[in-house]
Amino acid sequence: MVDSYVLFDIPADETPRDKHFLEQLGHRVMVCNGPPGRTLCPILSGEGCELAANAHGIVFELDLDRPQHRSILQKYKSSLKSDLPIRVVVSREKAVQYEELLSGIRVLDHPPVAGDLDALAAEIEAADI
């Protein structure tokens, strides 16, 4: 699928797991490690984020204990396409703690594996038809 990409919001210095698997399915992988230092994320400052806005799916692995990260996820939910597949990777404890924020989003309590990414890719392809 041309121009399709999955955005991985991951901590700095990490690389997306199974990146090559998604690429074999025809989905480019883009990475956002957040703004440098104490800079406010552009999606929260009102500038918007083209990377998120143009993504065909998002895998969110940022720390929900950080207020800015929770705000980013909330902004994704409120401002991006309603059928945009989003996966949030959090522990079971954090899934319970942030249950309200995570409502309506698929939660993974483990790092995404090939099966999880295959399901995400299928959901992306179904939404793009």
Residue scoring higher pLDDT (56 or 21): 56
| pLDDT of 118 over the 50 cut | yes
For residue 107, the cross-strand partners are 88
| Mean pLDDT computed over 63-77 | 94
**Closest Cα to residue 18, out of 29, 7, 9, 10?**
29
| Mean pLDDT computed over 19-24 | 84
Distance of CA 125 to the CA centre of its chain: 16
Domain locations along the chain:
5-128
Q: pTM for this structure?
A: 0.90
Cα separation of 28 and 129, whole Å? 18
Helices (H), 41-113: 42-45, 50-53, 67-79, 92-97, 99-102
Cα separation of 73 and 125, whole Å? 22
Band of pLDDT at residue 4, cut at 50, 70 and 90: confident
- Determine the topology of domain 5-128 in CATH: Rossmann fold (3.40.50)
- What is the tens place of the pLDDT at every residue in 80-97? 988 899 999 999 999 999
pLDDT at 86: 95
